[in-house]
Amino acid sequence: QVQLVESGGGAVQAGGSLRLSCAASAYPYSIYCMGWFRQAPGKEREVVATIDNDGSTRYADSVKGRFTISQDNTKNPLYLQMNGLKPEDTAMYYCAYNRRTWGVLCPMVPDRFGYWGQGTQVTVSS
């Protein structure tokens, strides 16, 4: 069983920055994907960024150039550096983890991830 705990959310003005963290209780898979997803009220959960155990990253078009997903070493906390925040970035942000198929990039859809944190709220005011 994997427990994920997010932190670092808060309220900022447009143009500001936040750094989200995700701590995992265990990493049972040697080949894995981790990701950040977000869900705004009345909207579906969507991908923000993913990273695999080799460090390969993928980003949603809406955050490219502004957000950076990172993990210092495999099986260490996951981070999401968010710069240039916009009001449309307001959402609950979730960390996710799952086994990765060798040779395949991390999926960019929520239903391909089996472990989820409780989320951390990010609110960006104009």
Q: How far apart are CA 70 and CA 111, in angstroms?
A: 22
3-class secondary-structure state, position 96: strand
- Residues 93/6, Cβ–Cβ less than 8 Å: yes
Is 75's pLDDT higher than 90? no
Percent of the chain with pLDDT over 90: 91
Band of residue 72 on the pLDDT scale cut at 50, 70, 90:
confident
pLDDT in tens, 79-107: 999 999 999 999 999 999 999 998 899 99
Percent of the chain that is helix, strand, coil (3-state, to 5): 5, 50, 50
What is the chain's mean pLDDT, rounded? 96
Q: What is the mean pLDDT of residues 57-83?
A: 94
C-alpha 71: how far from chain center: 11
